[in-house]
Structure 1
């Protein structure tokens, strides 16, 4: 329980850690740097889903539970996409610009963090030592560049940097109660564990293919992003072996 609290909190606060960079960076970053961050994150999450979550779901349940859980995770993310306008970054090599209102972006990113928090909680409910920490790390690494992008947008709207930092950090805070919800559901109803693990994998796979990979290939940096994606996969495999 304490480990789940610490892991989910660190994963959520990673949004703020990424946003801390706005205190050092100019008001915009190149799309090349952004694409590399997104691709690296995609590689991290791909390895976590395919080499940790799905194998464990198979261990605790079976192929039926994995299929149902993955499809449910994809379905939930698809619903979020339908009801929450997707925040596409304008592909412009000179920097990152948004054309949506600030509150819409903040609300959208906050709501998109809900399944990520559930994923962390479900992973800590697993009996396998280290799985929760791995998934919390993967989610945290995904949250860091997200927090940076939110903060960059806010300061482009002439919001003070420290206020942008606070707001960006708060967008990830929703993951903490969601992690507790996922943890208690799966520990109270043990048969939910394989479904929960597969759900987390499905949600990750949806984010990877629908969001991270396309956005990292929109500005002519496809080859570099591919290399960075592979590095992210190998980095997560290394961490899995350590844990």
Structure 2
């Protein structure tokens, strides 16, 4: 793979350094997406739903082609159990985290969560805007964690051929995600330029160290690799199903969002095959 050879020529052969580079790439693309609000000042809800659907499709395909299937076929001798255990733990971790940090897509809208015990569990934006913004940022930061971990684990495996498409996939989906969270925060009253810059810093603070930690952990304890790949995939699949898809289906734009998912899957599969 020419791209992998060039990557190694530029950054050496240390997988932990590769994880650092991968974390920097996806954080930078998140910043780029967040900064789009400076030029695309009022994106429509339909456009955002299509973009988020595309992001979900990219993440969905990447979870299988770059994490689950390589984890089973290459790193656990064809035994699916370690990857599946990791997948279940990743989904469980995000599920428990959502109990502590309310669903991101309900915080700034003021709507009740579907699983709220009482309608009063919602956050009225007009009265508690700052609290909603803080929780929103925490929720989005939480959901960036598996992305950084996935990139680190991918490079930590030592297989640059599969890690680069995974890095590109997560970086690509970070662009519409960064734009969407910037728009939501701006609608809640934050300054446009401030949040566009802050989103990149926030993303980098969580994605870059987790990419390094993921690469270092699986390099140090090789037996963790299939579990870690499953964990990252399970966490990403949870975010797709529990956050992104429900958000894109609440405003009557489910058809365009679904088409976005299909396009995202196609793009990721093409990247995975063409870069192999």
- Could you state the TM-score of these two structures normalised by the residue count of structure 1? 0.90
Structure 1 residues 212 and 159: alpha-carbon distance in aligned structure 2, compared to 1, 3 A threshold: closer
* Residue of structure 1 in register with 2:169 after alignment: 138
- Partner-residue secondary structure (3-state), 2:104: coil
* Residue of structure 1 in register with 2:117 after alignment: none
State the distance in 2 between where 1:151 and 1:231 align. Answer: 23
For the pair 1:13 / 2:44, whether they are aligned, the reply is no
CA shift for structure 1 position 157: 4.6
CA deviation string 1:94-152 (max 9, x = no partner): xxxx9352222222222222222111111111132322222222222232222222322
* Residue of structure 2 in register with 1:235 after alignment: 267
For the pair 1:87 / 2:101, whether they are aligned, the reply is no
State the distance in 2 between where 1:122 and 1:181 align. Answer: 8
State the distance in 2 between where 1:205 and 1:34 align. Answer: 20
Consecutive unaligned residues in structure 1, runs of 5 or more = 93-97
- Partner-residue secondary structure (3-state), 1:120: helix
State the distance in 2 between where 1:91 and 1:136 align. Answer: 34
User: How many residues matched?
Assistant: 237
* Residue of structure 2 in register with 1:167 after alignment: 198
Contact 1:46 1:208 in 2 (8 A): yes
Computed over aligned residues only, the root mean square deviation of the Cα atoms, in angstroms, reads 2.0
Contact 2:63 2:237 in 1 (8 A): yes
Contact 1:119 1:200 in 2 (8 A): yes
For the pair 1:32 / 2:64, whether they are aligned, the reply is no
CA deviation string 1:152-200 (max 9, x = no partner): 2343355433212111112211110111111111000001111111111
* Residue of structure 1 in register with 2:160 after alignment: 129
Consecutive unaligned residues in structure 2, runs of 5 or more = 1-15, 112-123
- Partner-residue secondary structure (3-state), 2:160: coil
Structure 1 residues 46 and 153: alpha-carbon distance in aligned structure 2, compared to 1, 3 A threshold: closer
For the pair 1:220 / 2:235, whether they are aligned, the reply is no
Contact 2:58 2:264 in 1 (8 A): yes
CA shift for structure 1 position 91: 9.8
State the distance in 1 between where 2:218 and 2:210 align. Answer: 12
- Could you state the TM-score of these two structures normalised by the residue count of structure 2? 0.80
213-222 vs 233-242, which moves further: 213-222
| Match for residue 139 of structure 2 among 83, 88, 108 | 108
